[in-house]
Every structure is written in C-alpha cells, then in structure tokens.
Chain A
Amino acid sequence: GAVVSQHPSWVICKSGTSVKIECRSLDFQATTMFWYRQFPKQSLMLMATSNEGSKATYEQGVEKDKFLINHASLTLSTLTVTSAHPEDSSFYICSARGWRGPSGREQYFGPGTRLTVT
C-alpha cells in the first residue's frame, strides 16, 4: 500500500491565487521531505529539500518566496504555490525519506499533484 500520500491529486486554479499541496508519510517518520516538479516530457527536477523543524533548502532557480515549504512535523510537509501563474502548471511530486522497518532508510514518492493554472 501507499506509504506517502498527497492531497489534492489534481487542482485547477485561477491565475493569481495560491494553492497548498500536502504531503504525508503514512506509516513512518520522514526526517527529510523533497519536493519535485515535472513538466511534460521532462525529468523530475528537485525544487527543495526540507528537514523537519528547519527551513527548506531550495535548488538554484527556485523562488523560495513563491514556493513556500513547511515541514512542521515528521509526517507532514506542505508546498504552497503563491500567486500561481500558468507557467506554474506542472506535476508536483513529494518524496519522503526516513527509517521504515527492515527496509531501512529509503525514499518514497507520493502519487503527485497535477496543478493547472488558468
């Protein structure tokens, strides 16, 4: 079964509005969460890495004031796309890394959120 959930799975919003995406680790504590973005026919691009209780580390070219990340607990991270524009339309995927049973410290992906900004 799924070990990482994302909500919503898809969202359509108007240009200028903000959208919040939640990522939860379901049966383990995620010490680190990653947010990726994937445009059509492109590879997953890491946007930012967050450790619980500390500020996120953003990759070069990703605006931290536009993509707000909160990793307030070991099971929840949120990504807020502020003042969304059509060019922000993309597939956003979170990933959680932590110790999970005998599998050890692995990275698990959420099902993704498809954002369309009109």
Chain B
Amino acid sequence: RKEVEQDPGPFNVPEGATVAFNCTYSNSASQSFFWYRQDCRKEPKLLMSVYSSGNEDGRFTAQLNRASQYISLLIRDSKLSDSATYLCVVKGGGSQGNLIFGKGTKLSVKP
C-alpha cells in the first residue's frame, strides 16, 4: 500500500462548483497533515494544515479522520484560479519526520 494515496483525477468542474478531494495514509504514527497546491512546473505551496477538529480557510475546508487515516479537502464556489494539482502531504512521527507527498489530484475549473 502506498504511504499516501490520492485519486489523481482530473476533476473537471464548472466555476462555482463545490469539489472534494480525498486522501488516505498508511502510517498510523503520522503526526501532521497538510494540503499543498502545485501549479504546473512550479514548486508546491502550502495551502493549509489539517486538524482532527477540522479547519476552514475561506472557501477551503480540511478534515482529518485519524481512525480511518483519511484526509479531505473541500473547495466551495470554485474559481478558475483554483485550477492546480492538490497534494496531500503527511509528516512522519518525531521532530525529524519527513514530508511524504501524495501524487496529487488535478483540478481543472472551467468557465
């Protein structure tokens, strides 16, 4: 089983749509969880951290289910500028834990 698994997509949605991405991770000792955004031929950029209590940042909502080892990202009222690849990232346990990246889910928002 891969350490971090995501549906590669692509997700093609119209502007204004709500879209949800899911991710599962295999290491139950993982400590921290993130969603990154990567534009074509660019470096990944941190979108938001993910907490068990859930967190919201504007149109973006992230959720973590530790029992199921499942992470989600919800984008509401999607914009053209949201088109990108969304990477699910898990950090291993301990202070030196490394970031493990999923392959990413590609989102394309159409007018």
Contact = CB atoms under 8 A, between A and B. Distances in A.
Contacts of A46: 98-100
Contacts, number: 35
Contact of B101 (A43, A110, A111): A43
Contact of B98 (A34, A91, A93, A110): A34
Majority-rule SS of B interface residues: loop
Nearest to B95: A105
Interface of A: 32, 34, 41-46, 49, 91, 93, 95, 107, 109-112, 114
Given A43-B87, A109-B43, 20 more contacts: A32-B96, A34-B99, A42-B103, A43-B4, A43-B102, A43-B103, A43-B104, A44-B87, A45-B101, A46-B98, A91-B41, A93-B43, A93-B44, A95-B99, A109-B44, A109-B45, A111-B42, A112-B42, A112-B43, A114-B41
A46 B89 CA distance: 13
A91 B42 CA distance: 9
Nearest to B4: A43
Interface range on chain B (Cβ under 8 Å from partner):
10 to 19
Nearest to A49: B98
Contacts of B98: 34, 46, 49
A44 B98 CA distance: 12
Contacts of A112: 41-43
B31 to A, nearest CB: 13
